[in-house]
């Protein structure tokens, strides 16, 4: 049986280059691809998945571990990961993160005989699932999360730096009464976004009201409940920073229930620049993170570990973010104290 190793030997190229050429990787030069395909035809190479597994001891599958596909940003991430995996010749296996699901052993179905590596999109800091996968020798890359308790590569957005962009914008409009809807502190991205907001406010002498900082589970219901708790007060914020677009949508929901006009009476800023944030009737001011580029980087790094390439010295690249100013932020209302509001539901 002719294998890609035989084809590589015949044309004098590395096996990884030949494999990428055979699966149509656009990064391979057309002339090189034609040499490889010509040699494959000459030698009678047949790309059989089972045979490839026997030769390379790889499944050419990668596990993608996510918490909740109901969040508007997760489907975008998954699609970007799948596109890059296909370009690299890998299949995707999607699984619910056991740290967030009723089955704490769900990740164990993806052993080394099932997948060659795993990308965690939603890992908590100190995740038992990540540790179990690393302990059995499976390559792991974290995406949009970090975990300093384990030695692992991570692809990150500048979550902390986003605070400067947001607070500069809100203060420029005249806001000094700013509330925060953040994630639980064991999510590194939400924690860094909150800490960036705190640092930017402190640098500008803007007081931080601890009773205006809410730490939430990643559900719409919790977001609405927390936003109502802040906005029903007589003494309430004029602007809300939300650590995810999903929380921003919850804040918009809460404002609608209270009859508060956005942005005339309340400004709202999200984080993600998800698809719905750009819809005309939402038009959310939000922090853009380059999801496609980050996802591609995560796949390339994992594929490199699977294929035996040495890791880059920059084990945790940080991608820049930008603020997309749209229609949910404006100058604050003149009156600071108003009669308390009550939800209509």
Q: Return the pLDDT at 247.
A: 96
CA distances from 213 to 65, 194, 204 (A): 29, 9, 18
Give percent of the chain with pLDDT exceeding 70. Answer: 88
The domain limits of the chain are 4-56, 61-157+290-319, 162-289
Q: Does the pLDDT at position 51 exceed 60? A: no
Mean pLDDT of the chain, nearest integer: 86
Same fold, 4-56 and 61-157+290-319: no
Three-state SS sequence of 93-113:
EEEECCCCCCCCCHHHHCCCC
pLDDT in tens, 91-144: 999 887 655 555 445 555 555 558 899 999 988 888 888 888 888 889 999 999
Q: Superfamily for 4-56? A: lambda repressor-like DNA-binding domains (1.10.260.40)
SS3 137: coil
Q: Is the pLDDT of residue 54 over 50?
A: no
153 - beta bridge partners? 141
**pLDDT in the model for residue 268:** 98
Assigned CATH class of 61-157+290-319: alpha beta
Question: According to the CATH classification, is domain 162-289 in 3.90.1150.10?
Answer: no
pLDDT exceeds 80 at position 337: no
Neighbour count for residue 307 (Cβ, 10 Å): 18
pLDDT at 128: 82
Strand ranges inside 127-266, DSSP E? 140-143, 153-157, 178-183, 213-216, 239-242
Write out the two tokens for 285. 């001011």
Q: How many angstroms separate the CA atoms of 71 and 78, rounded?
A: 12
Model confidence at 322: pLDDT above 60: yes
The dihedral built from the CA positions of residue 145, 147, 148 and 153, taken in this order, carries a sign that is negative
Contact between 182 and 194 (Cβ < 8 Å): yes
Q: What is the mean pLDDT of residues 246-267?
A: 96
Is the pLDDT higher at 134 or at 331? 331
Res 344 pLDDT > 80? no
Distance CA 15, CA 157 (A): 34
Residue 250 has pLDDT above 90, yes or no: yes
Q: Give the strand pairing for 322-324 and 285-288.
A: antiparallel
Q: What is the pLDDT of residue 55?
A: 47
Question: What mean pLDDT is predicted for residues 80-97?
Answer: 88
pTM of the predicted structure, to 2 decimals: 0.78
Quote the pLDDT of residue 113. Answer: 55
Per mean pLDDT, which range of 45-54, 145-154, 234-243, 251-260 is the poorest? 45-54
Q: According to the model, what pLDDT value does residue 331 have?
A: 96
């Amino acid at each position: 049986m002719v294998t890609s190793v035989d084809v590589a030997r015949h044309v004098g190229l590395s096996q990884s280059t030949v494999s990428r050429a055979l699966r149509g990787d656009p990064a391979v030069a057309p002339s090189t691809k034609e040499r490889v395909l010509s040699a494959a035809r000459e030698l009678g190479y047949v790309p059989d998945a089972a045979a490839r597994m026997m030769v390379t001891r790889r499944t050419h599958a990668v596990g993608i571990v996510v918490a909740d596909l109901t969040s508007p940003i997760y489907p975008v991430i998954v699609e970007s990961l799948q596109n890059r995996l296909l370009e690299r010749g890998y299949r995707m296996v999607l699984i619910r993160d056991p740290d967030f699901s009723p089955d704490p052993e769900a990740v164990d179905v993806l052993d080394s005989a099932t997948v060659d590596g795993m990308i965690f999109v939603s890992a908590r800091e100190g995740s038992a699932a990540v540790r179990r996968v690393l302990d059995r020798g499976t390559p792991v890359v974290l995406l949009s999360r970090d975990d300093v308790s384990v030695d692992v590569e991570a692809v990150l957005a500048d979550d902390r730096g986003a605070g400067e962009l947001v607070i500069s914008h809100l203060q420029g409009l005249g806001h000094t009464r700013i509330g925060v809807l953040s994630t639980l502190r064991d999510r590194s991205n939400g924690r860094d976004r909150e800490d960036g907001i705190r640092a930017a406010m402190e640098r500008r002498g803007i007081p931080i009201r601890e009773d205006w900082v809410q730490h939430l589970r990643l559900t719409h219901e919790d977001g609405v409940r927390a936003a109502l708790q802040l906005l029903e007060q007589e003494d309430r914020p004029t602007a809300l920073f939300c650590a995810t677009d999903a929380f921003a949508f919850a804040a918009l929901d809460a404002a609608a229930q209270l009859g508060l006009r956005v942005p005339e009476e309340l400004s709202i800023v999200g984080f993600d620049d998800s698809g719905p944030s750009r819809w005309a009737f939402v038009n959310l001011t939000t922090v853009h993170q380059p999801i496609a580029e980050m996802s591609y980087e995560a796949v390339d790094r994992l594929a490199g570990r699977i294929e035996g390439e040495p890791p880059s010295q920059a084990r945790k690249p940080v991608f820049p973010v930008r603020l997309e100013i749209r229609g949910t932020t404006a100058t604050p209302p003149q009156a600071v104290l108003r009669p308390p509001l009550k939800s209509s539901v």
